[in-house]
Amino acid sequence: AQTVTQSQPEMSVQEAETVTLSCTYDTSENNYYLFWYKQPPSRQMILVIRQEAYKQQNATENRFSVNFQKAAKSFSLKISDSQLGDTAMYFCAFMILPGDDKIIFGKGTRLHILP
């Protein structure tokens, strides 16, 4: 069975610092997607970044980047120059494609950016 583990329930960093959120997963599949979602108090789930497992290059989106280590089954999210608006719950998720259409979420990391 596939699992996603986020080992940091809560983190706090000062504004402008860099923070890394960890995520590990377990699967025997070779083709899959990995996601990081940001959940503000509104409960929306905002897609922060997505990584296809077949791509070796780490995905980046502005201040957000990932360190994807396929062999180690690790998918950490790095937020550079953190901003107060980055304060939120962050969920790591995993989906096997094609065909399975099952998404598995980690338990989330609550990130506080301190002024």
Partner 1 sequence: GAVVSQHPSWVICKSGTSVKIECRSLDFQATTMFWYRQFPKQSLMLMATSNEGSKATYEQGVEKDKFLINHASLTLSTLTVTSAHPEDSSFYICSASRDPNSPLHFGNGTRLTVT
* Contact residues: partner 1, CB under 8 A: 37, 39, 42-47, 50, 89, 91, 93, 101-105, 107-108
Q: How far is the CB of 13 from partner 1 (least distance, A)?
A: 21
The CA-CA-CA angle for residues 62, 35, 3, to 5°, reads 150
CA 61, chain centre distance (Å): 12
Cβ nearer to partner 1, comparing 44 with 60: 44
Q: How far is the CB of 80 from partner 1 (least distance, A)?
A: 21
Cβ nearer to partner 1, comparing 82 with 109: 109
Cβ nearer to partner 1, comparing 50 with 112: 50
Cβ nearer to partner 1, comparing 63 with 110: 110
Q: How far is the CB of 24 from partner 1 (least distance, A)?
A: 17
22 within 8 A of 106, measured Cβ to Cβ: no
DSSP code of residue 59: P
Pairing of strands 109-114, 10-14: parallel
Q: How far is the CB of 110 from partner 1 (least distance, A)?
A: 10
Name which of 103, 67, 92, 78 is nearest 17 in CA terms: 78
**Consecutive H or E run containing 68:** strand 64-69
